[in-house]
Amino acid sequence: MSSPAVIRIKPYHYIHILDNNKNVTRVEFGPQTFTRQDHEQLVSGPDSMIMVPPRHYCIIQNPVARDEKGKPVTDHLGQTKIRHGDEEIRFEQEPFALYPGEKLYGKVSPLQVVAPNTALRLRCIRDFKDDKNPRVAGDEWLFEGPGTYIPRVEIQVVEIVKAIIIKPNQALRLRARKEFTDKSGVKRRAGEEWLVREVGAYLPNVEEEVVQTISAYVLTDKKAIHLQATKTFTDVFGKERKAGEEWLVTIDDAETHIPDVYENVIGEVKITTLTSRQYAVVLDPVGEDGKPQMGRRVLKKGEAVFFLRPGERLESGIQSVHVLDSDEALLLRARESFKDGSTERKPGDRWMIYGPCDYVPPVHVEILEKRKAIA
């Protein structure tokens, strides 16, 4: 079917006309009544011009090359030059026509609005220089909301990042993807892990990987937690811990405790309670310097409450006070040299203690047997 000789072009419409003598395609804009010559052919149209309303954009593939004044550049034959394989993003402007070779990619879309506590993770796909610093292909950064994101052909939107809400008694465990300086000004190395304890919304950076959200252990006067250091570090209480060191965190230290990245939770420790009629012997007690005193024994008499420190254990558990009647006695033996009142005892010495009385053996003494008077 041949093209009509007279073409009526409405306002904001255009057509593509091929000049068969020159093999050049040009654009005719409306409104006009176009009379086609015999050597001319209607290639496409009439088509509506593309309208980009406020806060919208569109992507044009193979855009025309323009001069400093923004006018299309043509060659010596009058054919408009296009940038093959390239793209151009156009924003709010007067309705415009597509020149021969140009294509509209997708459709006219609204600009993306980034809400508060969210961000766009952006990646540079070709080198360019923005308002702040030059970007090279492969760079990633965040566009944090609230705000309207203005797209560029050099930038690819990877994903939408949402802030993580850190509640009271919670912390966020992060890992560095590469070497960088975090929001607190601390230099991090690739693979390093740390905790963010501040309550509120936290937006992870592109160099940060969220490992998990950690909840605090609630400590009471009857419960403590047993920790072990996986690396030498300084804990939240300002005390240096050596790798492999074990310790307790009790309510005297804090009401709640969030284990650090270098703290391994061995378990919870229940309090040991002694009544007025009980006693216990603690083996390998922990000294004031926090180190276990191997081979030593400490006597705990009731009434008393205490936590067994790491490495400590009870000899024979919790024991009852020995109650001797008037016809009963205990045969004792000294474990080591000590002074029993005015009597000097030597290792291996034996003696008797007679009732009626209550008796709690000191750590230097062991009970061999209980004897009863012969009637």
Our separate counts of H helices and E strands in the chain read 0, 43
Q: Which amino acid is residue 302, in one-letter code?
A: G
pTM of the model: 0.72
Instruction: Going residue by residue through the chain, which has 375 residues, state the pLDDT in tens, using 9 for 90 and above.
Output: 467 888 899 999 999 999 888 888 889 898 999 888 888 888 887 999 999 999 999 999 999 998 888 888 888 888 889 999 899 999 999 999 999 989 999 899 999 999 999 999 999 999 888 777 788 998 999 999 899 999 999 999 999 999 999 999 999 999 999 999 988 889 999 999 999 999 999 999 999 999 999 999 999 999 999 999 999 999 999 899 999 999 999 999 999 999 999 999 999 999 999 998 899 989 888 887 778 888 888 889 888 999 988 888 888 888 889 888 888 888 889 888 888 777 888 888 888 888 888 888 888 888 888 888 886
Cβ neighbours around 334 below 10 Å, total: 19
Contact 329, 296 (CB under 8 A): no
Contact 368, 335 (CB under 8 A): no
The dihedral through the CA atoms of 120, 123, 126, 131 has a sign that is: positive
Lay out the sheet containing 328-334: strands in order across. 350-354, 328-334, 365-372
Cis peptide bond upstream of 303, omega within 30:
yes
